[in-house]
Structure 1
Amino acid sequence: MNPDVNTDQTLLQLTQLHKSFAGKPVLSGVDLRAKAGEVLCILGPNGAGKTTLISAILGLIAADSGDIYLLGQLQQGASRSVALRQQLGVMLQIGSLPATLTVAEHCDLFASYYLAGYSATELVTLAGLEAHAKQRFGRLSGGQKQRLLFALALAGKPRLLFLDEPTLGMDVEARRGLWQQIRQLQQQGVSIVLTTHYLEEAEQLANRIMVLHQGKFIASGSPSELKALTQYKVITCCSALTDAALLALPGVLQLNRQPQGVTLHSSHAEQTVLALLTADNTVSQLEVSQVALEQAFLQLTRGDGTEAVGSEKEEQAA
């Protein structure tokens, strides 16, 4: 992290944000805070309110009530000042560009919007599209389009960056390259609000994940904290015990058998392991781990998880 970056500085804060459409609540008293140099990932199933939340923050729609602070400035209604917009970067999932302009022309256009941003040449390089600078946007692959949209979101060297599904359509190599760029931005003190359906992406990048469900945040914490919310752990091993005997061990909720061994989900992993070792002294390749973030997310949004990490009081104190 850049030593000149004040990581206690709050760049985005929402307080009791409400929004309804046709009388149906979409956001119900949302609180959020993001600091400089933080990658904050917002997860939620389709219809949770993620798009409405980002749209309200950016001023694309007006919230019904609540406060929005961007870079310490209280926002009124759906207008955002030119000075503020110069410090924001936005990459929307549905973003597109005129198909007939080339990569270089788009970069030149966006560079002209900012007083102290990147040059057109630098934007082409950030996109990794030097070899395609004269190619029209409409002829780029899906991944190349995403890389260009990401670079254009950085055109003004933003302090606060919003990325909505930034790696959609990218191959594995391109995705990991963009992850590295996001990490570098974080090191420079840029605050990044990320929404994604790739849970591996959230786990790799986020300092903090907030789970939005039915218009409310139901959990907040680091990836490891969210995984710890689940009611079980995963035990893998090779055992001579039958499936019936394994299912009878204390705490075992589920069993999956593969050619290389068995996987148990246990609500009391320590008790399960102790009973397993007592019943079978030939056990090998024993490993106990937390569930994957995907499993934790599914359990939380089904509403059968434990109490969320990061209560409202803790979130306000963050």
Structure 2
Amino acid sequence: MKLQPLNVTGLTKRYGANTVLAGVDISLAGGEVLCILGPNGAGKTTLISAILGLVATDSGEITLFDQLQSGCQRSTALRQQLGVMMQIGSLSANLTVFEQCDLFSSYYEGGYSAAELVKLAGLEQYSRQRFGRLSGGQKQRLLFALALAGKPKLVFLDEPTLGMDVEARRALWQQVQQLKQQGISVVLTTHYLEEAEQLADRITVLSQGVVVANGSPAELKALMQYKVISCYSALSDNALLALPAVLQLSRDKDRITLHSSHAEQSVKALLLADDSVSQLEVRPVALEQAFLQLTHNSSTQQEQAA
């Protein structure tokens, strides 16, 4: 039977009167990519830090590979199975890329060699470059490779593509997908919703320390009870808003975007009212819209409760 990489139940953390985590539950299966989304201050970094044993919690349970964790202690054997790339990562500015890789390689038995880590980072031509002279994206690529130094079974990536250009970001996405294919589990936090949609099997949305949604990207988008209709039309704004099931209207130059709670009804009425409609598209809500709506609703509910 495969061990479950991660299970968190009822995790609570307070700093004085401020509750940062309020009964958080998350779980992760082998070879699964879980993305934790939330606005700034939602508790994402605190949650990851608590799982890693970097901060003490007030209540709740953390289980790693079916081992119940007590306090901030993590065994050496367990730490060897974890790879971590934190958002604020720093290395000695004076060591070269190869020296950094050689150092991290020495921490693990059976991990990657220094040369393999340099290749994983895609920095072969910069192997003699000092860390302090690398670009922001190059530093991120090196930090990502170092997180894999011990060939971990569970990897935590906190904003891994921050500072990367589009090409480097997509290359790292491919590496994360390769980790998944190898059966390695990944916990990812990111502000790039496209990244979450591309990589995540499941997304957990945190807002003010509370889990407000959990599911696949498609399931989260399905929580929004409307679809998006886009087209060119000669109808006035008033006529468009009068169409059945239309909730909202916006224009970008001449292109019209409608939010509809029943897209079929809206489109049928639109075509009957205007036979000149062109470039008609009907699509589900984007993950960004779902995320904004979920976190906004949660904030409003908590403010009302207070």
* TM-score category (smaller protein): over 0.9
Cα distance between partner residues in 1 of 2:22 and 2:29: 23
Mapped pair 1:224 → 2:224: no
- Cross-structure match for 1:107: 101
Mapped pair 1:177 → 2:166: no
- The one-character-per-residue Cα deviations of 1:28-50 (angstroms, maximum 9, x if unpaired) are 11111101110000000111110
For residue 256 of structure 1, what is the amino acid of its counterpart?
Answer: S
C-alpha contact 2:35 2:196 (8 A) present in aligned 1: yes
**Superposition CA RMSD, Å:** 1.4
- Cross-structure match for 1:263: 257
Cα distance between partner residues in 2 of 1:52 and 1:146: 21
- Cross-structure match for 2:30: 36
Cα distance between partner residues in 2 of 1:194 and 1:128: 21
Cα distance between partner residues in 1 of 2:158 and 2:201: 17
Give secondary structure in 2 for the equivalent of 1:55: helix
1:90 to 84, 87, 109: 84
- Cross-structure match for 1:11: 5
**CA apart distance, 1:62:** 1.1
1:253 to 237, 247, 255: 247
- Structure 2 gaps of 5+ residues are 300-306
For residue 228 of structure 1, what is the amino acid of its counterpart?
Answer: A
Cα distance between partner residues in 2 of 1:87 and 1:186: 15
Cα distance between partner residues in 1 of 2:135 and 2:255: 42
Q: Structure 2 length as normaliser, TM-score?
A: 0.95
Give secondary structure in 2 for the equivalent of 1:109: helix
Cα distance between partner residues in 1 of 2:84 and 2:196: 18
- Cross-structure match for 1:309: none
- Cross-structure match for 1:138: 132
For residue 98 of structure 1, what is the amino acid of its counterpart?
Answer: S
Q: Which runs of 4+ in 1 moved over 4 A?
A: none
Q: Structure 1 length as normaliser, TM-score?
A: 0.91
- Cross-structure match for 1:290: 284
**CA apart distance, 1:243:** 1.8
Cα distance between partner residues in 1 of 2:255 and 2:18: 49
What are the residue-to-residue correspondences of 1:293-308 with 2, within 5 Å? 293-303=287-297
Give secondary structure in 1 for the equivalent of 2:275: coil
Cα distance between partner residues in 2 of 1:75 and 1:257: 53
- Cross-structure match for 2:227: 233
Cα distance between partner residues in 2 of 1:250 and 1:239: 16
Cα distance between partner residues in 2 of 1:41 and 1:304: 19
2:43 to 49, 54, 65: 49
Mapped pair 1:58 → 2:52: yes
Number of residue pairs matched by the alignment? 299
C-alpha contact 2:31 2:183 (8 A) present in aligned 1: yes
**CA apart distance, 1:10:** 1.7
- Cross-structure match for 2:183: 189
**CA apart distance, 1:260:** 5.3
- The one-character-per-residue Cα deviations of 1:57-103 (angstroms, maximum 9, x if unpaired) are 00001111111011111101001010000010000000110101100
